[in-house]
C-alpha cells in the first residue's frame, strides 16, 4: 500500500514537471509569446514605478495610451509585411509625408478636414502600391526599395511643407482625433460591449468547433479567458475614467487592430498572406497570386503608416520637417517582433502591434519621466530592437530543432 501511495505523488510530480517543461518550451519557441510579453510588460511597469511613483498614475497611463496610438497603427501595417517575411523601412517617412499633405491641404488650401484626411491616406496607399509593385515585379529586395523610399519621402515632406517648415493644426475635426475623451458612462458601456462581444465570439467559436468534431479548449479555460478580458477591460476603463475618460484615439487603434486581425485570420486574403510568408514557392504552386498578395500588403502598410501619421499630427497639433522621423520607424518594427511576430515570415498576429506598442511605449514613457538623456534613450531603443531580433531568432531555432526531432 505504501508503494502505491508513493507512486501516486511521484506520478503527479512527474506530470507537473512535464507540464512545466512543456510550458517553458512553448514559451521559448514563441508559442506563448503573449504570456512572455505580459510578464515583460509587468516587469517594466514595476521597475519604472519604483523609480517614479507617477508612472502608474491615471494621468500618465492615459498619456501612454495617446502616445502609443501612432506607433500601434503603423505597426498594424508592419505586421502584415513581417508575415510575408519582408520589411518596410519607409513607413516612418510615409507617415510624416501623409501628415504633411493633410496639413497643407487643410490649412494652406482650405480643404475640408475629411477630404484632407482621405487624400493623405490615399497618398500612403499609392506609395505602398508603388513600392510593392517595384519589389514584386522586378524582384528587388524589399529593404532596398523601401530604404530608397525612406530617403525619397523625407525629401517629399520637405518639398510639401516648403519654406514654412512647420504647420500648426487648428481644425477641431483633425485635432479632436487624439484629443477627444468620452464620459464615464460611455466608458462603462463600451466596457460592457467589449466583454459581451468577446464572450459571444468565444462561445460561438467553441460551438462551431464542437459541431465540426474538432478539438477545443475546456469550458473552465474558456471561462478563464473571458474573465481575464473582463478584468483587464474593467481595470482599464476605471483608470481612464479617473483621469479624462476613454480617449477616441484608443478606440481608433483598437478598431483597426480587431478589424485587421479579422482580415488576416478569417479571410482568404489573410490565409494567402500566411501562405506566402511561409513559402512563396509553395503558395505559387497552390495557385495563389503571390505578387498580388505582396502588392496588397505593401499598400496596407502604406495606408496604415498614413493613418498613424495623421494621429501623431493630431496629438502634437502640428506637422514639421521632423514628422515621421527620429526612432518612430524602429519602434514600429520592434514592437510586433517583441510581441511575437516573426521577422522570418508566416508567424504572428495583429494583436502583437498593440502589445508591442504597449511595451515600447512604456519604455519610452518611463525614460521620459526619469528625464534620461537622448543618448541613453537612443541606446536603450537600439538595445530593445536587438533584443527583439535575438528573441525571434532563438524562438525560430528552437522550433526548427523541435521539428527535426
Every domain of the chain and the residues it spans: 66-180+267-321+348-391, 181-246
CB 247 within 8 A of CB 253: no
According to DSSP, the residues that pair with 168 across neighbouring strands are 318
Question: 188, 278, 267: which is closest to 234 by C-alpha?
Answer: 188
346 sits in the region (left: phi over 0; alpha: psi -120 to 50; else beta) called left
Give the helix/strand (H/E) hosting 168: strand 166-168
DSSP, collapsed to helix, strand or coil, labels residue 338 as: helix
Query: Is 326 in a helix, a strand, or coil?
Result: coil
3-class DSSP state of 209: helix
How confident is the prediction along the chain (405 residues), in pLDDT tens digits per residue?
444 444 444 454 444 443 444 444 444 444 456 777 888 889 999 999 999 999 999 999 999 999 999 999 999 999 999 999 999 999 999 999 999 999 999 999 999 999 999 999 999 999 999 999 999 999 899 999 999 999 999 999 999 998 878 999 999 999 999 999 999 999 999 999 999 999 999 999 889 888 888 888 888 888 988 998 999 999 999 999 999 999 999 999 999 999 999 999 999 999 999 999 999 999 999 999 999 999 999 999 999 999 999 999 999 999 999 998 878 888 898 889 888 888 888 888 999 999 999 998 999 899 999 988 888 888 887 887 787 778 777 777 776 776 644
The residue with cell 466608458 is 187
- 315 contacts 70 by C-beta, under 8 angstroms: yes
Instruction: Write down the H helix ranges in 84-211.
Output: 91-103, 113-137, 142-161, 172-179, 184-211
8 A C-beta contact, residue 306 and residue 121: yes
> Using the 8-state DSSP alphabet, how is residue 164 labeled?
G
Alpha-carbon torsion 106, 111, 117, 121, what sign?
negative
The beta-strand segments (E) located in 322-399 are none
* Residue pair 150/332 in contact by the 8 Å Cβ criterion: no
The H-or-E segment that residue 234 falls in is helix 219-241
**CA dist 261 → 19, 112, 353 (Å):** 30, 31, 10
Secondary structure of residue 53 in the 3-state scheme: coil
Nearest CA-CA partner of 157 in 106, 98, 109: 98
Burial of residue 186 (CB within 10 Å: 0-12, 13-18, 19+) is middle
> Nearest 10 degrees: CA dihedral of 333, 336, 337, 339?
150
In degrees, rounded to 5, the angle at the alpha carbon of residue 403 between the alpha carbons of residues 397 and 404 is: 90
Separation of alpha carbons 363 and 294, rounded Å: 33
32's grid cell: 506563448
Helices (H), 30-112: 33-51, 58-83, 91-103
For 19, residues 6+ apart whose C-beta sits below 8 A from its C-beta are none
Amino acid at each position: 500500500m505504501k508503494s502505491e501511495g508513493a507512486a501516486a505523488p511521484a506520478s503527479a510530480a512527474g506530470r507537473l514537471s512535464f507540464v512545466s517543461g512543456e510550458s517553458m518550451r512553448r514559451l521559448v519557441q514563441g508559442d506563448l509569446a503573449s504570456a512572455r510579453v505580459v510578464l515583460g510588460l509587468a516587469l517594466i511597469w514595476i521597475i519604472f514605478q519604483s523609480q517614479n511613483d507617477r508612472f502608474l498614475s491615471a494621468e500618465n497611463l492615459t498619456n501612454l495610451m495617446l502616445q502609443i496610438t501612432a506607433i500601434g497603427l503603423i505597426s498594424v501595417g508592419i505586421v502584415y509585411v513581417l508575415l510575408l517575411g519582408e520589411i518596410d523601412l519607409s513607413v516612418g517617412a510615409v507617415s510624416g509625408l501623409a501628415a504633411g499633405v493633410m496639413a497643407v491641404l487643410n490649412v494652406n488650401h482650405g480643404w475640408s478636414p475629411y477630404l484632407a484626411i482621405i487624400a493623405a491616406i490615399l497618398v500612403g496607399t499609392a506609395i505602398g502600391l508603388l513600392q510593392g509593385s517595384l519589389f514584386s515585379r522586378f524582384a528587388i529586395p524589399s529593404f532596398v526599395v523601401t530604404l530608397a523610399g525612406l530617403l525619397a519621402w523625407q525629401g517629399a515632406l520637405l518639398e510639401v511643407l516648403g519654406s514654412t517648415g512647420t504647420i500648426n493644426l487648428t481644425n477641431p475635426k483633425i485635432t479632436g482625433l487624439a484629443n477627444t475623451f468620452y464620459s464615464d458612462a460611455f466608458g462603462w458601456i463600451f466596457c460592457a460591449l467589449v466583454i459581451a462581444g468577446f464572450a459571444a465570439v468565444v462561445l460561438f467559436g467553441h460551438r462551431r468547433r464542437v459541431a465540426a468534431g474538432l478539438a477545443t479548449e475546456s469550458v473552465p479555460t474558456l471561462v478563464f479567458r473571458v474573465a481575464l478580458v473582463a478584468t483587464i477591460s474593467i481595470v482599464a476603463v476605471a483608470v481612464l475614467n479617473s483621469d479624462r475618460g476613454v480617449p477616441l484615439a484608443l478606440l481608433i487603434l483598437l478598431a483597426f487592430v480587431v478589424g485587421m486581425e479579422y482580415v488576416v485570420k478569417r479571410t482568404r486574403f489573410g490565409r494567402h498572406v500566411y501562405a506566402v510568408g511561409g513559402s512563396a514557392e509553395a503558395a505559387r504552386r497552390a495557385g495563389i497570386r503571390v505578387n498580388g498578395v505582396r502588392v496588397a500588403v505593401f499598400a496596407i502598410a502604406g495606408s496604415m503608416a498614413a493613418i498613424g501619421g495623421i494621429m501623431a499630427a493630431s496629438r502634437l497639433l502640428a506637422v514639421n520637417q521632423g514628422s515621421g522621423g527620429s526612432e518612430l520607424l524602429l519602434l514600429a518594427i520592434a514592437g510586433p517582433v517583441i510581441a511575437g511576430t516573426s521577422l522570418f515570415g508566416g508567424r504572428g498576429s495583429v494583436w502583437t502591434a498593440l502589445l508591442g506598442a504597449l511595451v515600447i511605449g512604456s519604455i519610452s514613457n518611463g525614460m521620459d519621466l526619469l528625464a534620461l538623456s537622448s543618448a541613453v534613450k537612443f541606446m536603450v531603443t537600439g538595445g530593445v530592437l536587438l533584443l527583439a531580433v535575438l528573441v525571434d531568432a532563438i524562438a525560430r531555432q528552437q522550433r526548427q530543432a523541435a521539428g527535426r526531432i
